[in-house]
Amino acid sequence: MNFTVGFKPLLGDAHSMDNLEKQLICPICLEMFSKPVVILPCQHNLCRKCANDVFQVGQGWGQSQASNPLWQSRGSTTVSSGGRFRCPSCRHEVVLDRHGVYGLQRNLLVENIIDIYKQESSRPLHSKAEQHLMCEEHEDEKINIYCLSCEVPTCSLCKVFGAHKDCEVAPLPTIYKRQKTELSDGIAMLVAGNDRVQAVITQMEEVCQTIEDNSRRQKQLLNQRFEALCSVLEERKGELLQALAKEQEEKLQRVRGLIRQYGDHLEASSKLVESAIQSMEEPQMALYLQQAKELINKVGTMSKVELAGRPEPGYESMEQFTVSVEHVAEMLRTIDFQPGASREEEDEEVALDGEEGSAGPEEERPDRPEGTVPK
């Protein structure tokens, strides 16, 4: 079916635009979000400037900390070393790192929606004219029905006398509303999935930080133990540190690979959402239906994509690299990690080392771990 195009004025859907605008209001300045827009761990959004104003006011720039219920701090925390405040929408506590509000992740999806909204709002009414498609075979007939058998829009005369006389047809507005509803539902599912993906990415970034923190703590424990041993332990210390670093790198590479995978999925999904939203703004039913089916299929396929699993619980733990030095001097070269060693045992060993070192004379201090029998 070939079409020719005619024009007929049509007012835009102002009610839908008003509803969209209400969802783009910042709870701090009560105006439309201004870029960059940051997303909090609770999935609410703020203008970065508004978030920074709340944090700085809590620091004492304009009012006392006690008078601002959205700000909290511990000790002498400053803007450069992090802090915390509460989300103005749900009161969830937001913990900031050393980058302050500039460490919060930007919500590119909301920023893209704002750009689309502003473009649509600034478009003149006469540019939103409805385009009526005319049947090429029957030049005076508008496209007003939809052939269910061929899945194309057509005109009434084509149904009565033309190529679609033996096909099943339906009113064009009915199919328009049905497919638009399908695409809208698919977009809603896709956006909800994007929120979950964003939350998973945030959690895995925290896992990376925890792995690094645990690795750093375990390295410090190793150094404390080996500082009390003789030169033969230095060689073994290097081997153990290398094993620890290798395990850390393997875990970080796995988690970062998952982050990249989730990020790629999120980027592709956001682009598809943007394309679908632009298609939803098409006021002409026939033009919309020409591309709606493909978009619906793409949205459905994207929403069913299964991503790789997240790290299992406790994956970030590095406790298996705990070292005990309760071995005899002859067994020093066989020292290996002992997973499951309790923190209490480590504290007791450190205390015993300190007592033995202070009680005996200089010549009585052997270069062997505590509890060994002298030769």
Tens digit of pLDDT for each residue in 281-300? 888 888 888 888 888 888 88
pLDDT of 9 reads 35
Percent of the chain with pLDDT over 90: 6
- Whether pLDDT at 124 is above 90: no
In a domain, 328, yes or no: yes
Residue 131 lies in a domain: no
Residue 149 lies in a domain: no
Q: Under a CB-based contact definition with an 8 Å cutoff, are residues 318 and 215 in contact? A: yes
Tell me the residue range of the domain where 324 lies.
319-364
Q: In what order do the strands lie in the sheet with 105-106?
A: 45-47, 37-39, 105-106
Amino acid 57: pLDDT:
66
User: Residues 225-263: pLDDT tens digits?
Assistant: 777 666 676 777 788 889 999 989 998 998 898 888 888
SS3 134: strand
Question: Are 230 and 154 contacting, i.e. CB atoms less than 8 angstroms apart?
Answer: no
Tokens 């009434």 correspond to 156
Q: Using pLDDT thresholds of 50, 70 and 90, give the confidence band for residue 208.
A: very high
Give the pLDDT score at 210: 92
Lowest mean pLDDT across 155-164, 237-246, 272-281, 325-334: 325-334
- Going by C-beta distance under 8 Å and a sequence separation of 6 or more, which residues neighbour residue 186? 276, 296, 299, 300, 303
59, burial (CB in 10 Å: exposed 0-12, middle 13-18, buried 19+): middle
Q: Going along 101-187, which residue ranges are E strands?
A: 105-106, 130-135, 145-147, 152-154, 169-171
Report yes or no on 349 lying in a domain.
yes
At residue 58 the predicted structure's pLDDT band, cuts being 50, 70 and 90, is low
What is the pLDDT at residue 345? 56
- Pairwise CA distance, residues 208 & 256, whole Å: 8
Does 347 reside within a domain?
Answer: yes
* Residue in the structure block whose two tokens are 């058998």: 149
How many folded domains does the chain comprise? 1
Q: Is residue 212 part of a domain?
A: no
Could you tell me which residues come within 8 angstroms of residue 111 by beta carbon, excluding any fewer than 6 positions away? 33, 35, 36, 37
112 in a structural domain: no
Crossing angle of helices 172-227/231-280, nearest 10°? 170
Nearest to 98 by CA among 84, 85, 79: 79
Does the pLDDT value for residue 195 go beyond 70? yes
Give the mean pLDDT of the chain. 75
Tens digit of each residue's pLDDT (9 = 90 or more) over 75-108: 333 333 467 788 888 888 888 888 888 888 888 8
Q: Is residue 359 part of a domain?
A: yes
* CA-based torsion, 230, 234, 239, 243: positive or negative: positive
Q: What's 21-71 look like in SS3?
A: HHCCECCCCCCECCCCEEECCCCCEEEHHHHHHHHHHHCCCCCCHHHCCCE
